[in-house]
Structure formats: C-alpha cells, structure tokens
Structure 1
Amino acid sequence: MKTAADVLNKPFHSNFLKLIFAGSLVGILTGLVVSLFRWIIDQTLSGLQIIYPAMAQHHWWILAYAGLTIIICLVLGYVIHPFQTDLVGSGVPQIEAILAGQHTMNWAQVLWRKFIGGLLAICPGLFLGREGPCIQMGAAIGQGFSEHFFHNNRDITRTLLSCGIAAGLSAAFSAPLAGTMFLLEEIVFHFQPQIWLTALAAAICSDAVTVCFFGTKPCLFLPITNNLPVHSYPIMIILGLILGICAYGYQYCLLNLRWWFSKIHQIPAQYHSIFPLLLIIPVGLWQPRILGGSHLLINYLVAKVTHVGMHNYPQLIMYLLIFLVIRFVWSMLSYGATVPGGIFMPILVLGALLGCISAPLMIQTNVIPATDFINIIAFSMAAYFGAIEHAPFTAILLITEMVGSIEQILPMTIMTFVAYLVNDLLGGRPIYTALREEIFA
C-alpha cells in the first residue's frame, strides 16, 4: 500500500515553476507597455472632446486639422509598410498563424511599429479597439523574452507567446480571467496545464500593473443593481436570436472588407487610412463622444437613456439608430483600411447600442421593468460579442469583469448561447480563424 509520500511530488520540484516565473515577467512587461498605450489613447480621445467643439466654432481650424490628418496618414503608411502583413488589423489572426506554423514574426519590429501605428490609427478617433494591438504586442514581448533567455526553444516560445496574448488582453481590459479564457477558447483550442497556468500568471501580473496606473474600478463599470425577473427570461431567447442574425451580418461585411478595398488602385494600400481618417472629421464635428473604440460611449449611452427616460422613447430610438448606423459603417471603414487596430471594443459598442435600442421597446411592452435596461445592455454586449467571436465563455467572463457584476450570469448565458447557435446555423465561423484564412490563403 502506497503512502502519501509515494504518491505526491517532492516539495519545491514543480515542473511549471520556471515557466510561471517567466510568464509572470512577460505579464509585467506587457502590463507596462499596454498601460502606456492605454494612457496615451485615453488622454488623446479626451483631447478630441475639446478639439472638435473648438473646430465647430472656428471653421478654418478644420482645414488645419485635415492637413494634420494627411500627415498622420503618411507617417502611418511609412510605419506599417515594411511589415504590412504583420501590422494590419488586430494582429490576432497573425498570431494564430504563427502558432499554427504558417507564419513567423520579427518581434522587435512588430512591437514598436504596432505601438506607434496603433496610436496613429486610434488616437485620431478611428472606430478601432485597443485590445488587438495589445494582444499582438504582448505576444511579441513573449517571443522576444523566449529568444533572449531560452534560446528560442520552440515549446517555450509557444508558451511564452501564449502568455503574452493572455497578458495583452488582460491589460487592455483589466480582465485576467477573460484574457486567459480567450487564449484557450479562441487561439490554442486546448486546455493544457503548461499553457493555462503560465498564461494565468501572466494575465494576473499584467492586470496588477494596470491597477497601479488606472485603479481597481472596472474599465466599463455599469451600475447593475437589479436582477432581471424570471418571467422575463424567455424574451432573452428572442433577443439572442436577433443578435445572432446581426452577428452574422457583421461577420459577412467584415470578411468582405479586403475584397472591397482591393478595388482601390489609385492609392497604395498603406495609405488607405486616408479615407476613414478624413471621413471621421464630420462625425467628430457632429458628436465627438462617438469617436474611438470607445468604452466611454457606452457609459454615455447609459446616461443618455437614463436622462431621456422612457416617455420619449420614439425620439430616443431614432437617435440610437443613427448612432448604430454610423458606428457600423465607420467601424468597417476603419478596420478595412490597412491600419492597426482591434475589433473587440467596436463589437461591444455595437452590442451595447443594440441593447439600448431593444431595452426601451421591451420596457414599453412591459416585458422587463424599467430599472433593468442596463442589464439588457450588458447581456447584448456579451451575446453579440460571443456570437461574432464564437467564444461564449470569453464573452461572458469579459463582460462580467468589465462591468463589475456577476449578478446576472444565467440570463446572460442564455442570450449568449442562443446568439452563438444562431450565428453558427447561418454559417458563421470564429472570426479570427476566418480572417487568418483570408490573410494567409
């Protein structure tokens, strides 16, 4: 008969201790880089809230700003052109290709060019998310760390690159669990202890660094104080069905962007950013709050719905529909124009808008109480994101961590699962896998 000493491992002989330590260092470095990236974007987008109203008052400033925009386009093209395949879009499909053995990456070039290129694309207000560049920069840091300290060992490189992915998303949204789950559910597709333990360590460390910069408040805090009544749960199935159809429409348009932009022959691809950069100016003059990724817009929408009230809901819904159309069209223009930038936050904003449009209708028909409209916004973000990304677990964890509430997991899960199934039945696919096949066909 064996004893505990025969069965248990010897103390201080963990197989993962060295890798966890390395993953933690990757997480710390990623947290520092992403925190600086986030801070610059936040400060710049706040500055746009001052610049655009000033331009509306002094019209000749618009010409000067347009000239600056052209300079930004030229600099951005210069930065991304030598490594255009690596730098366009979020970078997640490229990282998937590296892990699948289809691609390689010059980590040092990608790191600084993605940092500068991401800022040049996002700071002027293009409808792009910060999380894609953060994920790719984290992966570059992981690869570089492996090359310098582990002599580019293939298995360790894959592990530390994976750590960088989790750390990048964790730092972008202060969401370590969602960062780790995203890696497992959408990148590596397996639950191997060596991967998830080191990735979780990296995600925790990167989030700890961002807490030092931005505090402990969730980055998309929503004051969910009431629980959706049980008799309202069946409507979550119908709303999930609608969001699944909308998610398929988003995928269809996004996956045609490269084909549409390929028809533009007069301007080199690295300078296609001139179209969204100039077209964003009239949008900013109309409503600067709509610019950017933008998590601030979601908070503004919640405040707007609360302030307007349900008694004026026809005008409210018309206002939100205009927001929805502009956000959708300009998100497509921004992502398709050969620029660095992610789709996480734009997807979440569109999901929030769909929730903002649905909630007043549901309140007017007495399907849900008026106090629960914020719940619908949060559920819609999770369902829309989960369907497009084909990552329901990541969606639920991400929204839970971002909004700072775990009160309503069941209805959120119901809606997300239905939206995922509908999108899958219509022929939808994991969006990053589909994008990878486009880029590396």
Structure 2
Amino acid sequence: MLGREGPCIEMEAMIGQGLAEKTFKTDAEGLKEMQECGVAAGLAAAFSAPIAGALFLVEEISFSFKPRKVISILAATFSADFVTILFFVNKPCLYLPVNGYLPVKIYWSLPLIGIALGLLAYLYQYVLLSLKPWFSKIKKLPATYHSIIPFVLIIPVGLWNARLLGGSHVLIDDLFNNNLGLHQISSWSFITIPILLFMIRFIFSMLSYGSSVPGGIFMLILVLGALLGIICANLLIKVQIIAPMYYPHILVISMAAYFGAIEKAPFTAIMLLTEMVGTIQQVLPMIITVFFAYYVLDLLGGKPIYEALRLQMNYHKLN
C-alpha cells in the first residue's frame, strides 16, 4: 500500500545526478543543483503540479531557494509537466475538480478540523519513525525477507477490495465522487466505514514501509487525508452544518491540511491541492486548516517527515 510518487522523485534526482556527472561534468555545486532540479521535476511529473514541485524542493529537501537557481528549477518542473501533457493529455493523474466557494459561515469549523488533523499527523509521524526500531527486533526473520509479512497479511484485504491496494488513485476518485454514498447512509456506517478504511490503509501502509517494500509515502498521506476528510465531511453533513454539495470541499481541504502537517510543508500542500483542483476558490479554507494542523504538530514537536527519515537513515541533505 505504497505510492509511486516517492520513487518517481528519487529516479528524477538520479537522472539529474547522471546528467551532471556523465554529460555536463559539473562540479559539486552543479551536481547538487542538478539533483535538486530532478527532485522538483519528479513531483511535477507525478502530479502535473510544476509550482508545487518547486516549493516541495524548498520546504522538504534543500531548505533554501537561491535566486540564481530559480530559472533552472522552474525550467525542470515545467518541462517535466509538459512531457506528461504530451503523453497523458492536459489532465493531472489525480484530478479533483471542486467548484464554488465554501460558505464563510462555516469557517469556524475549519480550525477544529485542523486541530484534529494535526493530532493525527503527529500520530502518523510517531508510528512511521518507530517502524525501523520495531522491525529490527524481529530476529528470527532476516531483514531481506521482512516484506513477506505485509505480503501475506494483505492478501485477504486485496481479495475483499482490490481498490484499497497500491497508491489508491482509484480509491480517492471514488471517495471524491462519493461513489460509496457514505453520507447518505442513515446508520452509523457513514462514520464507521471510512474509519475502517482509514485503519486498514494506515496499518498496512506502515507495515509495507517498515518492511522496506519499495514505494513512497507521498500518495499514502493524501489517501489518508482524503479518508479523514470524509469523516469530517460526513459528520458536518449529518449535523446539518454543511450541505452535501460541500462534501468534496472538506475532502480536498483535509488532504491539504494532513499533508501540510506531516510534511511540514504548508506552501507545497496548498499549491499541490490548488493545482489538482484547478481553481483558487479553496485557497483561503486550505490556508486556515493547514495553519492549525501545522501549528498543532509543531507544538507536539513534530519534524518535517523527510528530514526526520533522512536523519534516521544517516543521509545528508543535498546542500
């Protein structure tokens, strides 16, 4: 239950390194710049989000944005996006068209959603960073074969619902379009079903990552954010705070907040979801919710997840 976006970023960074070392014969500074361009281009290609790709590089990888690098980084992101358009038409791989503004009168609920998502973002970070120590305690099974554990356990889940497996682009589409019809259910299933789906995705994604199965956590975070958004939206609809037509608004806003908190990359989160949605109508609600989620995680001592993982694995920053 891991995504392909993380490996896409890694492969683009390696392409940048290869060009720097083999083609352009650059110095150490040029090598870093080519790697950074590859990172930004990888995200831009994965989501058709060139601006988010550049912001991701600043907030999560290099932690700096030197003016002289702006042109090369933007050239890399926009060219990567253009190539994907040539092959896959002018539509993101995860297109979430949300139209209309969220009513101002329900903005008071956004801080509450942000606080809840911030707490759950800290839980995500805590579990993810604890996986390597936990798996290292498994002595009877060599680390090379740890992937057998999630492989065996996930078979029943795949037989029950294959849409839950992999990066789950299809699952997000179903949730966004309300193909499950959850908020129309009269019983408590409108809340128990998304909670169950969240727990399945959370547990098995952690098992997959902890066992060193190849894959990224980028899409995983967005999927979990979508499920949490559904829980929030269904609750607000059931108590008649919002109309069902605003269901996708809460889903998209929650995805941005959960992602922005875990990654500690608020600008990337807001821009990524804005480029997915295709309009700026949800920017203000996203800013409010992302702010509270980010602030809660910061108060709890959360760190940027990629930086924390890099330190855990003794990797060095690009700069």
Q: State the TM bucket, normalised to the shorter chain.
A: over 0.9
In structure 2, which of residues 152, 158, 161 is the aligned counterpart of residue 284 of structure 1?
158
In structure 2, which of residues 58, 74, 89 is the aligned counterpart of residue 200 of structure 1?
74
Output the CA distance in 2 between the equivalents of 1:258 and 1:128: 16
Partner of residue 252, structure 1: 126
- 1:223 CA drift (Å): 3.3
Output the CA distance in 2 between the equivalents of 1:313 and 1:143: 55
Contact preservation (8 Å) 2:177, 2:248: no
Contact preservation (8 Å) 1:224, 1:375: yes
The letter of the residue matching 1:360 is N
Partner of residue 265, structure 2: 391
Partner of residue 143, structure 1: 17
Aligned-residue RMSD, C-alpha: 1.5
Partner of residue 289, structure 2: 415
1:327 aligns with 2:201: yes
| Bigger mean CA deviation after superposition, 213-222 or 307-316 | 307-316
Instruction: Give a deviation string over 1:273-296, Cα, whole Å, max 9, x none.
Output: 111122221101111111111221
Instruction: Give a deviation string over 1:110-153, Cα, whole Å, max 9, x none.
Output: xxxxxxxxxxxxxxxxx111111111111111111011233241
- 1:310 CA drift (Å): 2.9
SS, match of residue 158 in structure 1: helix
In structure 1, which of residues 294, 312, 325 is the aligned counterpart of residue 168 of structure 2?
294
The letter of the residue matching 2:148 is I
Partner of residue 316, structure 1: 190
1:210 aligns with 2:84: yes
Structure 1, unpaired ranges of 5+: 1-126
| Bigger mean CA deviation after superposition, 308-317 or 146-155 | 308-317
1:238 aligns with 2:131: no
Question: How has the CA–CA distance of structure 1 residues 265 and 241 changed in structure 2, closer, same or farther, with 3 Å as cutoff?
Answer: same
Partner of residue 359, structure 1: 233
Instruction: Give a deviation string over 1:75-99, Cα, whole Å, max 9, x none.
Output: xxxxxxxxxxxxxxxxxxxxxxxxx
Contact preservation (8 Å) 1:175, 1:398: yes
The letter of the residue matching 2:23 is F
**Percent identity of paired positions between Structure 1 and Structure 2:** 54
Output the CA distance in 2 between the equivalents of 1:423 and 1:309: 29
1:427 aligns with 2:301: yes
SS, match of residue 301 in structure 1: helix
SS, match of residue 129 in structure 1: coil
Contact preservation (8 Å) 1:258, 1:336: yes
Output the CA distance in 1 between the equivalents of 2:242 and 2:280: 19
Partner of residue 25, structure 1: none
- The higher radius of gyration belongs to 1
Output the CA distance in 1 between the equivalents of 2:186 and 2:177: 15
| Bigger mean CA deviation after superposition, 376-385 or 273-282 | 273-282
User: What is the correspondence of 1:151-230 to structure 2 with a 5 Å cutoff?
Assistant: 151-230=25-104
Partner of residue 133, structure 1: 7
Output the CA distance in 2 between the equivalents of 1:194 and 1:339: 38
Contact preservation (8 Å) 1:390, 1:429: yes
Output the CA distance in 2 between the equivalents of 1:243 and 1:260: 25
The letter of the residue matching 1:402 is M
In structure 1, which of residues 343, 361, 377 is the aligned counterpart of residue 217 of structure 2?
343
Output the CA distance in 1 between the equivalents of 2:185 and 2:146: 44
Question: How has the CA–CA distance of structure 1 residues 146 and 388 changed in structure 2, closer, same or farther, with 3 Å as cutoff?
Answer: same
SS, match of residue 261 in structure 2: helix
User: What is the correspondence of 1:117-132 to structure 2 with a 5 Å cutoff?
Assistant: 127-132=1-6
Output the CA distance in 2 between the equivalents of 1:183 and 1:196: 11
- 1:267 CA drift (Å): 2.1
Output the CA distance in 2 between the equivalents of 1:308 and 1:434: 36
Contact preservation (8 Å) 1:162, 1:195: no
The letter of the residue matching 1:284 is G
Structure 2, unpaired ranges of 5+: none
User: What is the correspondence of 1:97-108 to structure 2 with a 5 Å cutoff?
Assistant: none
Partner of residue 86, structure 1: none
Contact preservation (8 Å) 2:264, 2:304: yes
- 1:302 CA drift (Å): 2.6
SS, match of residue 223 in structure 1: coil
Instruction: Give a deviation string over 1:385-415, Cα, whole Å, max 9, x none.
Output: 0000000000011111123332110011100
Partner of residue 382, structure 1: 256
- 1:313 CA drift (Å): 5.5
Question: How has the CA–CA distance of structure 1 residues 384 and 393 changed in structure 2, closer, same or farther, with 3 Å as cutoff?
Answer: same
- 1:355 CA drift (Å): 0.5
Question: How has the CA–CA distance of structure 1 residues 244 and 309 changed in structure 2, closer, same or farther, with 3 Å as cutoff?
Answer: closer
The letter of the residue matching 2:231 is I
Contact preservation (8 Å) 1:228, 1:372: yes
The letter of the residue matching 2:274 is T
Partner of residue 54, structure 1: none
Runs of 4+ in 1 over 6 A off after TM superposition: none
Contact preservation (8 Å) 1:305, 1:316: no
SS, match of residue 181 in structure 2: helix
Output the CA distance in 1 between the equivalents of 2:140 and 2:44: 40
| Bigger mean CA deviation after superposition, 149-158 or 346-355 | 149-158
The letter of the residue matching 2:275 is E
